[in-house]
Structure 1
Amino acid sequence: MATILRKIAEQVLSRTTFSNLAMDRARDAAVDTIGCMIAGRGDESIAALTRAFHGEIAGSGEARLVTGGSASPSLAALINATAAHALDFDDNFHPARAHASAVLVPALLAVLASGKVTSGRRFLEAYLAGLEAQAAVGFGVNPSHYNRGWHATATVGGIGAAAGVARLLGADENGLAAAMSLATSFACGPKGQFGTTAKPLHAGIAARNAVDAARMALAGMSGRPDILERPQGFLDLFGGDDAKGWEGLTFEEEHIIESRGVVTKRHPCCASTHRAIDALLDLKQERGLLAGDIARIVAKVGISAARNLAYPDPTDEMQARFSMQYCLATAFLRGSLSLSDFTRQEIGRPEIRQFMPRIEMQSYSAEEEKGVERLPHIVTVTTRDGRIYRKSRLHAKGSLEAPMSDYERKVKFMDCLHWANRRNSEASFQRLCALADFETLSCDNAFWSLISDGLKG
């Protein structure tokens, strides 16, 4: 009987044709991630990594860095993926419970090292392979794994991304399964780190692990092909109390990006806040609510979301991204959230601090969540004159069910460049959107020059 990793490897290598829809969504995810990488390049987490590895960053490394210069593929994956996730503006992928693209895109870019050339289409096919592998790994352990406290971006994300990198590097079925097996040995990342710079580092570590595991596998290193399901394997150690395993795992003709999609973020903060933010903004618009009208706001969310949002009184911008109180107060008062709302100066604004005590977060009970994959987040607003308004959101803006328009995607990309104090080049955005048409893709050619355009003042 085939092991789970071999089953995944066989699937992602046998899928050789992709629909135009799948390719378009992969392209959108890649471009969105590149925007987030550029925006995140000035974050303190990246400054710390640059200081830590100063001696290994040069102008003659194999792989390009979003900060400028170059480094080894391993270090480039670490730094670029940390930048992609630094501002928590990168996408989510529900089947893996992971920030899928922040791991996958930088990992794939890192192996476009000097002398290695691929096409834009093959790059996107490798992305889709890694995404499908992430979904398959997540199938057996989530949501129990995530609810137990594991940051699946660092665990499931890294294992699945190893499959994408291995495919891009030309691995066969044995090599691809070995890459995922080795990446399983690297997996770690507790959600207790949320609200610190270690959180975006998890994406960097996962991307580095994917690159290292794939390169090791192609060099002959191997691990057990049954490491996901065997005793003392991934399910046993990481699954949590309610993980179901992979017995029911099947692969549809339709790719997972077609049936489930990735969720492009509308707001630059923890996704656990997004549905509540959207619901509150809906109520504000529908009811014409003003700040002076509000007596109380209650946001009811899932248990894991409540645990993620551990900062009711944030003291810095990273904590603010994981504060329901700050995010709802700022969104209501300003009508939206942008990258500029998450600075040391902004989080101390008196009007925000005075509004935050009116906001309360509650969670569903374990009994309410039992056996249900996904429950809506519910916002209840009580006005000073006693009116009560309620709004629920099952899907956030940016999801397959509530997609962002092409214009909204472009505006977000430009906002990322503006935040990084870089040139707002709509032409570069449009050319990146033609990624699938690039006949040659490497760290030395016109593709990286488009990314570099976003690095020029």
Structure 2
Amino acid sequence: MATVLEKITDQIVSRTSFSPVAMKRAQEAVVDTIGCMLAGAADQAPQSVTRAFSADIGANGASAILRGGRASPSVAALINGTAAHCLDFDDNFHPARAHASAVLVPALLSIATADTAVSGRRFLHAYLAGLEAQAAVGFGVNPSHYNRGWHGTSTVGCIGTAAGVAVLLGLDATGIAQAMSIATSFAAGPKGQFGTSAKPLHAGMAARNAVEAALLAQAGISGRLDILERSQGFLDLFGGEASNGWQALSASDRHVIETYGLVTKLHPCCASTHRAIDAARDLQIEHGFSLDDVLSIQTKVGRSAVDNLAYPHPVDEMQARFSMQYCLATALYQGRLSLTDFTDSAILRPEIRRHMPKISMSAYSAAEEHGIERLPHQVIVNLSDGRSLKTERLHATGSVAMPLTAADRRSKFADCLRWAGLKTEETHGTLLRFEDTASVKVLLNGFEWFAIS
């Protein structure tokens, strides 16, 4: 009988073509992630990683690092992956409970920028393979894998991305399954690190580990192909009492990016805040109140969201991204959130701080969440004129159900480049030709921020 890894691999290799919707969404995800990588490249976390591995960076490395320099595929994926995730502006992928693209795109770029022959279409096919593998692995171990404290980005993301890298390297079905098996031995990352620079490092670690797992499989290292489901395997050690297992896993004619899709972030902060922010803004737009009119705001979110948002009184910009109080107060105070709101000076603004004690957060009970894939996040706003306004959001803005417009995507990308101090002219439009480029390396070599010649 086929193992779970073999079933996942069979599904991946059986897809020899993808629908226009799947290819368009994959391309949008790649472009969005490149914007996040550029915006994050100068942040403390990727800069620290760069310093740690400075001896391995120079002019002659195989793979490109954003903003200049070359290194081995492993080091390039580690640095670029950390940059992609450090501002928490990168997309979410609910089937894996992971930041899928922040691992996939840097890992695949480490191969593509070392090989002129990698086309945009081939890159996107590998991206979609890795995304499907992430979804399948996540299906088996969630929801309790994530709820008990594992960061799916660096566990599920690592294993699924190894499949994508293996596809890009041209490995056969056995090689792809072996890359995923090896990657299970690299999977790590506790959510207790949220609010520190170790959290974005998780994405970099996962990208690096996925690259190394695929290269090791290519070179002949092998692991057990039943490592997901066997005793002392991934599910046994990482799953938990509410994990699904893979008995109900089934193949679908439609790719997961068409059905579930990705959530492209509108706000540069933890996704656990987004539905409450969007719901509160819905009320504010409808009823026209300001924060000065608010007596109190009560939010009800998932149990894992409460665990993630551990900083009611953030003391730095990283903690602020994981603070419901700061993110929600800032969004209601000025009508939006941007990268400029997450600096050490911005988070101490008294005009924001004085409103934060008005905001409380509670969680659904275990009984309420049991057996339900997704519950809406609720917001109640109590106003000084006696009104009590209530609404809820099941989906964040940026999801398939409530997608960003093309203008929203362009605006976000431009914001990322401005934050990075780069020119925005033509960059987004050029990257939207990603699918049709004959060489990803040549395409990126046209930008001053990707010195890969």
Classify the TM-score, shorter chain.
over 0.9
Which residue does 1:418 correspond to in 2? 418
The whole-number CA distance in structure 2 between the counterparts of 1:2 and 1:247 is 12
Compute the displacement of 1:14 (Å). 1.2
Task: Say if 2:118 and 2:439, in contact at 8 Å, map to a contact too.
Answer: yes
The whole-number CA distance in structure 2 between the counterparts of 1:317 and 1:113 is 32
State the SS of the aligned residue for 1:110: helix
Compute the displacement of 1:207 (Å). 0.3
- Give TM-score scaled by structure 1 length: 0.97
Which residue does 1:356 correspond to in 2? 356
Structure 1's 55 and 31: CA in aligned 2 closer, same or farther, altered over 3 A?
same
Task: Say if 2:91 and 2:99, in contact at 8 Å, map to a contact too.
Answer: yes
The whole-number CA distance in structure 1 between the counterparts of 2:119 and 2:422 is 27
Answering whether residue 329 of structure 2 is matched by residue 332 of structure 1, we say: no
RMSD: 1.0
Q: Percent identity between the aligned chains?
A: 61
Show CA shifts across 1:323-379 (max 9, x none): 000000000001000000000000000011100010101111111111111000001
Compute the displacement of 1:453 (Å). 4.7
Matched to 1:358, the amino acid is K
State the SS of the aligned residue for 1:111: helix
Compute the displacement of 1:440 (Å). 2.1
State the SS of the aligned residue for 1:95: helix
Which residue does 1:225 correspond to in 2? 225
Compute the displacement of 1:2 (Å). 0.2
The whole-number CA distance in structure 1 between the counterparts of 2:417 and 2:185 is 36
Which residue does 2:443 correspond to in 1? 446
Q: How does 1:37-436 map to 2 (within 5 A)?
A: 37-115=37-115, 117-425=117-425, 427-436=426-435
Compute the displacement of 1:112 (Å). 1.9
The whole-number CA distance in structure 2 between the counterparts of 1:244 and 1:34 is 33
Task: Say if 2:297 and 2:380, in contact at 8 Å, map to a contact too.
Answer: yes
Unaligned runs of 5+ in 2: none
Matched to 2:430, the amino acid is R
Compute the displacement of 1:114 (Å). 3.3
Task: Say if 2:79 and 2:204, in contact at 8 Å, map to a contact too.
Answer: yes
The whole-number CA distance in structure 1 between the counterparts of 2:450 and 2:296 is 42
The whole-number CA distance in structure 1 between the counterparts of 2:223 and 2:443 is 38
State the SS of the aligned residue for 2:380: strand
The whole-number CA distance in structure 1 between the counterparts of 2:435 and 2:115 is 20
Task: Say if 1:296 and 1:381, in contact at 8 Å, map to a contact too.
Answer: yes
The whole-number CA distance in structure 1 between the counterparts of 2:66 and 2:114 is 16
The whole-number CA distance in structure 1 between the counterparts of 2:28 and 2:324 is 28
Task: Say if 2:67 and 2:450, in contact at 8 Å, map to a contact too.
Answer: no
Task: Say if 1:40 and 1:86, in contact at 8 Å, map to a contact too.
Answer: yes
State the SS of the aligned residue for 2:446: helix
Compute the displacement of 1:130 (Å). 0.2
Say which is worse superposed, 344-353 or 110-119, in terms of deviation. Answer: 110-119
The whole-number CA distance in structure 1 between the counterparts of 2:398 and 2:242 is 29
State the SS of the aligned residue for 1:221: coil
State the SS of the aligned residue for 1:81: helix
The whole-number CA distance in structure 2 between the counterparts of 1:67 and 1:275 is 33
Task: Say if 2:68 and 2:450, in contact at 8 Å, map to a contact too.
Answer: no
Structure 1's 448 and 137: CA in aligned 2 closer, same or farther, altered over 3 A?
farther
Task: Say if 2:64 and 2:114, in contact at 8 Å, map to a contact too.
Answer: no
Equivalenced residue count is: 451
Compute the displacement of 1:100 (Å). 0.2
State the SS of the aligned residue for 1:390: strand
Answering whether residue 42 of structure 2 is matched by residue 22 of structure 1, we say: no
- Give TM-score scaled by structure 2 length: 0.98
Show CA shifts across 1:233-280 (max 9, x none): 000000011112000101110100000100000000000000000001
Task: Say if 1:422 and 1:454, in contact at 8 Å, map to a contact too.
Answer: no
Compute the displacement of 1:414 (Å). 0.3
